[in-house]
Structure 1
Amino acid sequence: MSLKGRRRCRSLPPDILSNLPDNIIDVILICLPSKEAVRTSILSKKWRYHWRRLTELTIDQSHWSTEEDLLYPTFKFSKLVYQLLTLHEGPITKFTIDITRLRSCPEIDFFIYLLSMNGIQHLVLHLPWKEGEEYKLSSLFTCLQLRHLALENCFIHPPSNFQGFDRLITLELCNVTISSELLGSLISHCSLLENLALVLSEVPVSNMIEINASKLKSFDFSGCISYISLTNVPLLTKVSLDLCEGSSMEAHNFHFVKFFESCFALEHLLFQFCFDEIDIAKPDEAPTRLPFDHNRVKRFCLPGIILELTYETLCCFCLLRSFPYLEYLEIEVCNDGDGYGYGDVELFKLERFADVTFNHLREVKLGEFWGDAHELEFLKLLLAKSPVLVTVTIDSYLLPKRRSKILAEVSNFWHVSPTVEVICRDLQRRSSIFEDETNRWKRMLLYY
C-alpha cells in the first residue's frame, strides 16, 4: 500500500461495532427478533458467532416466508430449527415456536429433546392444527427445568413414572388432547404452579377436571366441561370462566355453589354463562346465595349475560348477594335490542333484595345497553342499593335521541348515593370498552 493509502487508513474512524464489549453486543441481540439477531453475523468477525449464545429464540413464519418460496415450507422450518439448535452454544432458557399456518411439523418432538439438553425453562409451542393428526410430545417430560409452558394443538400423555414439573409456575394449554384424569394428575404434580389457563374445546362434557394446586393464584378456563372441582386452592385470587356451548350449567349438574366453596381468597371473577343449557334449566334449581360470603371479591365481570333468562339472572343475583365487599361491577348485556324482553321483570324488584346492600360498590359499567325493561330495572336496583356509588357508565349503539331519552329516564331513578354520576357513551364511535377491559384482565391472569 502506498504511503498516501496508509495515511488515509490511519485517518479513518475506528470500527465502533467491532469494538463493542461482548456484554453490550449480547444486550443488542436480545432486543432484536431472532431472525435479525442471526443476520448480524455478517457485520464483522466479532459479531459472527455472537447470536449462538442467545438464551431466547423465537421462530415463526417470517423466518422462511419470502416472495420467491422455492422450498416446501415444512422443509424450510425443519432445516432452520435444526441448524439453530445444533449451532447454538450454551443454555436456551426461552424458546417460542409459532407455526399455526404451517401444514405440519413432524420433527417437533426431536426439537424438544434438543431443548431439554439446553436447560429450557420457558417453552411456547403454537403448532398447526390438522384433522386426524396430533403431535405427540413425548420429550416434553424430560424438560424438568420448565418454569413456563404453553402448548397449542398437540397430544400429551405423561408417563407413569413422571413426578411432575417441580419448578413450573405457568401452564397454558389450548386445544391439547389429554384425559381429564391425566390433566388433574399433571396439575397436582406441579407443586409451584401459580397460573393456569385451559382452552379445552374437545373435552367431553361428561368429564370433570380436578384442580389441586396449593400455590395457584389465577385460573382461566374456556371450553366445554361438566364440572370443575377446586379441591385445594387457598391462594386463588383471579378466576375467569368462559363456559362454551355444551357445558352443563344446571345447579344439580355443574354444582354451581360447590365451585366457589374452596375459593376463600377470590378477589377477581369473570363468569361467562352458557346460554343453551341455562335456557332449559328450572328456575327453582338456581341457588339464591353461596354457603358463605366471599368478603375479598372486589371485581366481578359478566360478559354476554341475558337478563331475560330467569335461571341465568338468578345465578347472577346469587353471586352478587355473596360479594358484600364488591367495588367494581361490569356487565355486558346480550339481547336482540328490540326492547321487548320475555323474562320475569319482577326478579329485579327492590322488595326481593331487602336483605342486600352494596355498601362498597363504587363503579358500574354496562355494555351493549339497549334500554329494555330488564336492563332499566336492574340499573334501578343498583342505584337504590349502592350508597357509595360514584360512576355508572352505559355503553350502547342506540341513536342519540333514544340514548338521551333513556338517560333522562335513568336520572329520575331514586339513588341512595348523593355523588353518583351516570355517563352514556356511543359505541358506534369507539371500540368496545368492555372487550378491551376483558382482554386486558385475561392477559393479567397469565404470568407472561
Structure 2
Amino acid sequence: MVPPNGKKQCLPPPHVLSNLHESVIGEILMRLPLRDAVRTSIISKKWRYNWCRLPQLKLDQTLWETTEDLTSPAIGFANIVYPLLALHTGQITEFTLDIPDLKTCPNIDNLIHFLTRNGIQHFVLRPPLGDRYKLPSSFFTSLRLRHLTLQRCIIRPPPVFKGFDGLISLELSYVEISSEFLGSLISHSPLLENLVLKDPRNSNPIEISAPKLRSFVFLGNIHLIQMKNVPLLSNVSFEPTEFPVDAERDPANIFESVPALENLCWNQLMVLDAGPFEVIPTRLPFALNCLKRLYLSWITLREFFELSFALFLIRSSPYLEEIEIEVADDAFVNPWDTIDEIPASFSDMTFNHLRIVKINNVVGAGAEMQLIKVLLAKSPALLRMIIKLCLMEDKSFKILAEITKFHRASFRAKVVIM
C-alpha cells in the first residue's frame, strides 16, 4: 500500500523489537492495556513474560467480558485474575481494580491480602454497583500505601489502626465510614496533600486537620465539614448537596479556616435552603486576599439567593485574577431589589488584578447585565471578557449593542460575545 504522500513506508526489520533494551520494553508494556501487554509474549523470547514483572497492573472490565452463555462474571473474574497474579514475579506497587459493570462483587479478600504483602503503594478499587464491599482487616496493614482511591466500600478498621503514615492522596466516593474515623484517618496522615470526599455516608461533622493539604474536593452537606488545621490548602472544589443558611449557619464559616485559598470552584447543582433573604451578607467579615481564580458553576443569577451568594464571593475577593460563571438555565425570577443594589454594593471596590472574565449561558437578564457592567467598570487591568449567549441570533444583537455602551476601566479590555 502506498501512503497519500506517494512515498513507500518501510516497516522495521523483525529483529528490531527483539533488540530493544529491557527498560524500553518495560516502558512500552506499562503504556499498554494489560490484555495487550500479556499478548506481547508472542513477539520473541526476549518479550516473553516481561509483563510478569510490571509494577503497575490495571484490571478493568475488558479483562473478563464474556457473552451471556459463558461462565458467570464472578467465575470469569477468578479464572483470569488469580492465575494472572500467580504468574506475576515482581513487586506490585500500583494496582487498579475497576469492575463497576459486574452484577455482583467477587470475593477479592485474598486479592487484597496478596497486594498488602507485596508492598502496594497506589491502590484504586471501584467494585460493582449495588451492595458496598467491606474491606478486609488485611487492607489496614498496607504500611507503604501512598495513594488510595475507594468507591462504594465499607471501612471498619480494627481498633488498633489509626492511619497510613505515608499517605499523600486520598479519594473516597460513596464510602460508608464513621465521621470519627474519617477525621482520625486524615489527621494521622501527616503527608496528605490531596483529599477527595464524595457523598460520605454519615450525618456527623467531619473534622479535617491536615497541615500539608493543598487540594480538597467535597460533594455533600457542606456544613458537615469543619476545617481545623489546613494552612497550605489552596485549591478547593465544593459541590454542596445541602447548603442550609440561617442565623446559626453563617456562610463565612466555610472560608474562615482556609487562609491560603487561591482557587475556588463552587458547583451548585441543587436548590438551596436559603431561609430569609437577609442571611447572605454583602461580603465576608474578612477578605479572601489569596483568592485568584473563582469558578461558579450552575449558579442561577436570576434567583435571589444564588445571585446574592455569587456577589458575596466576588465582593470578598479583591485580588481575583480570573472569574468564570456557568449560569444555570432555570426558571426566570426577577430579583429587582438585588439588581438595583448591585452597582452600589461594589462602589468601594476596584479589581486591580482581574484580567479574565468568562460568563456562559447568558440570556440578558437584568442581574447578568448589571454584573457585566460592574466588572467592566471596576477592572482597570482587564484584558478579556468572554460572554457566551444562550439566545436566538436576533436577540443577541440587542445584548451586544447594550454591552458596547458599558464603560470600561481598562482601555485594553476586549469583549468577546459568542
TM-score scaled to structure 2, two decimals?
Answer: 0.91
CA drift at 1:39 = 1.8
In structure 2, C-alpha distance between the alignment counterparts of 1:17 and 1:91, rounded to whole Å: 25
CA distance in 2, matches of 1:399, 1:237: 40
Match of 2:175, SS?
Answer: strand
Q: Secondary structure of the equivalent of 2:258?
A: coil
Task: Measure, in 1, the Cα distance between the counterparts of 2:221 and 2:340.
Answer: 29
Counterparts of 1:59-208 in structure 2 under 5 Å?
A: 59-66=59-66, 70-131=70-131, 133-200=132-199, 202-204=201-203, 207-208=204-205
Percent of counterpart pairs with the same letter?
A: 46
Q: Distance in 1 between matches of 2:276 and 2:312?
A: 15
Displacement of 1:223: 2.2
Show the counterpart of 2:235. 238
Q: Is the 8 A contact 1:281 1:311 kept in 2?
A: no
1:238 aligned partner, one-letter code = N
The one-letter amino acid paired with 2:100 is: T
Tell me if the contact between 1:187 and 1:212 (Cα under 8 Å) persists in the aligned partners. yes
Q: Choose which of 411, 421, 437 in structure 1 pairs with 2:414.
A: 421
- Describe the SS at the equivalent of 2:325: strand
- Mapped contact 1:330–1:366 kept (Cα < 8 A): yes
CA RMSD of aligned residues (A): 2.1
Residue number in structure 2 paired with 1:283:
277
How many pairs align? 406
1:67-122 per-residue CA deviation (whole Å, 9 max, x = no partner) reads: 68611111111222211222211210110111000112232222111001111111
The 3-state SS of whatever aligns with 1:111 is helix
2:91 match: secondary structure: coil
Residue 134 of structure 2 aligns to a residue in which SS?
coil
Distance 1:16 1:383 in 2: 62
* 4+ long deviations beyond 6 Å: none
SS of the equivalent of 1:367 reads strand
Q: Letter of the aligned partner of 1:389 in structure 2? A: L
Counterpart-to-counterpart distance in 2, 1:83 and 1:412: 72
Matches within 5 A, 1:280-359: 280-336=274-330, 341-342=334-335, 344-346=337-339, 348-359=341-352
Matching residue of 2:404: 411
How far does the alpha carbon of each residue in 1:10-29 deviate from its partner, in whole angstroms, 9 at most, with x for none? Answer: xxx88554454433332332
Shift of 1:226: 3.3
2:267 matched to which residue of 1? 272
Aligned partner of 1:227 in structure 2 is 224
- Please give the per-residue CA displacement for 1:205-230, whole angstroms capped at 9, x wherever unaligned: xx221111000000011123433111
Q: Point out where structure 1 has 5 or more consecutive residues left out of the alignment.
A: 1-12, 426-448
Cα pair 1:53 1:90 within 8 Å, conserved: yes
1-side partners of 2:291 and 2:21: how far apart? 51
Name the CA distance, whole Å, in 2 between partners of 1:197 and 1:125: 14
- For 1:240 and 1:184, the matched residues in 2 are separated by 19
Question: In structure 1, what residue type is equivalent to 2:306?
Answer: E
1:365 aligns with 2:355: no
Task: Check whether the contact 1:358–1:386 (CA below 8 A) recurs between aligned residues.
Answer: yes
User: Which segments of 5 or more consecutive residues in structure 2 lack a partner in the other structure?
Assistant: 1-12
What is the Cα deviation at residue 322 of structure 1?
A: 1.9
Corresponding residue SS for 2:323: strand
Are the aligned partners of 1:110 and 1:139 in contact in 2 as well (CA < 8 Å)? Answer: no
Q: Which amino acid aligns with 1:71?
A: T
- What residue identity is the alignment partner of 1:317? L
Residue 59 of structure 1 and its aligned partner are, at CA, apart by 0.6
Amino acid at match of 1:91: Q
Q: TM-score, normalised by structure 1?
A: 0.85
Quick check: 1:227–1:248 contact (8 Å CA) kept in 2?
A: no
Compared CA separation, residues 99 and 89, structure 1 to 2 (3 A): same
Say which is worse superposed, 285-294 or 375-384, in terms of deviation: 285-294
Deviates more, 1:40-49 or 1:373-382: 40-49
Q: Which amino acid is the alignment partner of residue 281 of structure 2?
A: P
Query: Which among 240, 244, 247 is matched to residue 249 of structure 1?
Result: 244
How far off is 1:375 after superposition? Answer: 0.9
* SS across alignment from 1:177: coil
Helix, strand or coil at the partner of 1:219? strand
Q: 3-state DSSP class of the match of 1:51? A: helix
Code of the aligned partner of 2:370: E
